[in-house]
Amino acid sequence: MSTPPPYENAASRGTVAAVIPAAGRGVRLGPGAPKALRALGGVPILVHAVRAMLRARAVALVVVVAPADGVAEVRALLDGNGLPESKEIKVVAGGDTRQESVRLGLAALPDDTGIVLVHDAARPLVPVETVEAVVAAVRGGAPAVVPAVPLADTVKEVDPAPSPDAPEPVVGTPERARLRAVQTPQGFRRDVLAEAHEKVTDAVTDCAGMAERIGVPVVVVPGHEEAFKVTRPLDLVLAEAVLARRRAADVF
């Protein structure tokens, strides 16, 4: 008989904390303030993201990972934007990559943290239902959970172009129905994410990818079209439109 995987059936206890990496520049969004500090509906993108986490009843604490030279500015911004005072918000300095920023955020978690959500500041409009679905799946026993949506576009795998002015050759077409675009918040048992960050040192683009590397099973819950990442200028146009629609419908 084989030994059961170490993460199976382990109950997740302790409080739920959200780590929000917000230390990126936002190069693809174009020149201006760091992306998380840019305005959306007159409020910094980061403030929307923090509110989105605080709306989930289970979330007791938020750790914002700010640009290393912007900790005081981010602290002042959060204090001045009328966030609920019943929940703690910490601000720590970030690093050169998202992975490093998340690691620095994890280091600021109190000992009683049992579940960690990692949420991109750049996803300001994630609905509370998505956050709660992720928490529920971790509470239900999954060590690592990602919200994800089916793809609209067909995806091609390409090789590098053989010369600078030649086109890239297509080498394959994965079956679209089996692909998912992954969003945040991604949810983890705290011990699992801490172990992944200790053991995985090469670059991985999301936290769940790190968990996969150390053999932790990762599961998907339904994501949401409004949990898209503000990456390029057109995303900001879309985000403004979503926010205007919500305000008109008086949802928030």
Residue 185 is a binding residue for ligand CTP (CB under 6 A):
no
SS3 207: helix
Q: Residue 20 and residue 118: Cα distance in Å, rounded?
A: 6
Residue 101's binding partner out of ligand CTP, Mg ion, none, with CB under 5 to 8 Å set by partner kind: ligand CTP
Binding-site member from 87, 108, 194, 231 for ligand CTP (CB under 6 A):
231
Q: Residue 220 and residue 240: Cα distance in Å, rounded?
A: 28
Binding-site member from 17, 18, 19, 22 for ligand CTP (CB under 6 A):
22
| Stretch of residues binding Mg ion (CB under 5 A), selected from 22-30, 55-63, 81-89, 136-144 | 22-30
Rg (CA), the chain: 19
Closest separation in Å from C-beta 233 to Mg ion: 15
Q: Residue 42 and residue 122: Cα distance in Å, rounded?
A: 15
Nearer of residues 30 and 82 to ligand CTP, judged by Cβ = 30
Q: Residue 203 and residue 114: Cα distance in Å, rounded?
A: 25
Residue 234 is a binding residue for ligand CTP (CB under 6 A):
no
Residue 206 is a binding residue for ligand CTP (CB under 6 A):
no
Closest separation in Å from C-beta 235 to ligand CTP: 10
Residues 6 or more apart whose Cβ sits within 8 Å of residue 184: 117, 118, 119, 120, 123, 126, 147, 206, 227
| Stretch of residues binding Mg ion (CB under 5 A), selected from 18-26, 39-47, 130-138, 155-163 | 18-26
Residue at shortest CB range from ligand CTP: 24
Residue 209 is a binding residue for ligand CTP (CB under 6 A):
no
Contact in structure between 114 and 15 (CB atoms under 8 Å) = yes
CA torsion, ordered 212, 179, 105, 18, to nearest 10 deg: -110
Question: How many binding residues for ligand CTP (CB under 6 A)?
Answer: 22
Q: Which residues bind Mg ion (CB under 5 A)?
A: 24
